[in-house]
Amino acid sequence: MKLLMDTHAFLWLVEGHNRLSSAAAQALTESENAVFLSVASVWELSIKSSRQSPQLRLNEPLDAFLNRWIPRYQIQLLPADLPHALEVCRLPHHHSDPFDRLLIAQAQVEGLTLVSADRQMKNYNSPVLW
């Protein structure tokens, strides 16, 4: 299975947070699954980190955090390309968060399963695992 993590799923995975569902945790750590993190999520983390958002508290700089956790979980980075950006304009407006809309578009274009606790993600024509 090819999985695209929502930003919170990535954070909860690496933090060992109990908010990550058992199904998501199992799928994200199974070696036969390909796990992706979008550069859109990295961009979102960068914005929150630079603003010192209370939603994101890291004990190290973001680049060190990513360089530690991405290899540990064998995560592949998914670039945001033109087909992904163009797919966003075709999506119904169930969700207003631009980062989430790009994740949905990427999942649809690339045939990925979204890993997300966000209930609004299920309103789109993409498989969601939680």
81-90 per-position pLDDT tens digit: 999 999 999 9
Domain definitions of the chain by residue range: 2-40+68-129
Helix (H, G, I), strand (E, B) or coil at 30: coil
pLDDT at 59: 79
Tell me the pLDDT band of 91, cut-offs 50, 70 and 90: very high
3-state secondary structure of 33: coil
d(CA 68, CA 53) in angstroms, rounded, equals 21
Residues 12, 41: Cα–Cα separation, whole Å: 13
Q: Which fold has domain 2-40+68-129?
A: Rossmann fold (3.40.50)
Q: First and final CA of the chain: distance in angstroms?
A: 14
Going by the DSSP 8-state scheme, the letter that residue 122 receives in this structure is G
The pTM is what?
A: 0.92
